[in-house]
Amino acid sequence: MTAMTLARIRELRQQKGLTLHQLAGLTRLSVGMISQVERGITDPSLETLRRISDAFGVPLFDLFREDEPDPVTVVRKDERRRVSSPRGQIVYSQVSRLGGKLEVLEAAIEPGAVSSGERRSHASEECVLVLSGRLRVEAGKDVYDLDAGDSCHFDSMIPHRFVNPHEEVARYVVAVTPPSA
């Protein structure tokens, strides 16, 4: 993580008027973990970043925002912000600019991996497009198996997650509006 990201986490905590202890309670992380993240001593996992962004009520990639976006932004492939799970089984790279009203992510999910341990919901609308491989979308009580070129559009208030029960990596793009907190 960059020093700017660490400063952003500390800045958001202070803006919310939260102590390290209070943020730890909201995130179910230890005070030591929060302190280590803010000081750059540890590289937080995707789950840790999700817990922090949820506690602040901001989209995950908002933790990486450094300043207000320009009216037109070009995001070069090799300059995208990336977040991965602890074992690298899922990698998200932000295609859209930070701070916009639409979040577009490109993702790769390894065989046998899931986007989160349990289905999650958030106040957004979401559309996923499979680029290669096959992807399972679990939404509510239903399961949708998608092949390359297939898409699935849903209300993100329905608890959901992405699963790859197949033997090849699945690559997909997901668009979320407004960006999920």
Instruction: Say which residue, 168 or 116, is predicted with more confidence.
Output: 168
Helices 46-56 & 31-39 angle (0-180, nearest 10):
100
Q: Which of 57, 87, 102 is the last residue of a domain?
A: 57
85 belongs to a structural domain:
yes
CATH for 89: 2.60.120.10
CATH of the domain at 33: 1.10.260.40
Q: Are residues 172 and 132 in the same domain?
A: yes
Structural domains of the chain, count: 2
> Same domain, yes or no, for 42 and 99?
no
43 pLDDT higher than 90? no
Same domain as 139, residue 90: yes
113 and 30 housed in the same domain: no
Query: What does the mean pLDDT of the chain come to?
Result: 88
> In this structure, what token pair is assigned to residue 100?
């916009």
Question: Rounded mean pLDDT of 24-42?
Answer: 87
Let me know whether 87 and 149 are in one domain: yes
Residue 67 clears pLDDT 70, i.e. is over it: no
SS (H, E, C) the chain: CCHHHHHHHHHHHHHCCCCHHHHHHHHCCCHHHHHHHHHCCCCCCHHHHHHHHHHHCCCHHHHHCCCCCCCCCCCCHHHCCEEECCCCCEEEEECCCCCCCCEEEEEEECCCCECCCCCECCCCEEEEEEEECEEEEEECCEEEEEECCCEEEEECCCCEEEECCCCCCEEEEEEEECCCC
Together in a domain, 159 and 82: yes
* Percent of the chain scoring above 90 in pLDDT: 46
Q: Which of 5-9, 18-22, 100-104, 155-159 has the lowest mean pLDDT?
A: 5-9
Is residue 66 in some structural domain?
no
What phi and psi, each to the nearest 5 degrees, are found at residue 118? Answer: -135, 165
What pairing do the DSSP bridges indicate for beta strands 151-155 and 142-147? Answer: unpaired
Residue 4 pLDDT exceeds 60: no
Domain of residue 81: give its range: 77-177
Q: Are residues 166 and 83 both part of a single domain?
A: yes
Instruction: Give the pLDDT band of residue 50 (cuts 50, 70, 90).
Output: confident
90 and 52 within one domain: no
Residue 35, domain member (yes or no): yes
Average pLDDT over residues 92-120: 91
pLDDT per residue as tens digits for the range 131-148: 999 999 999 999 999 999
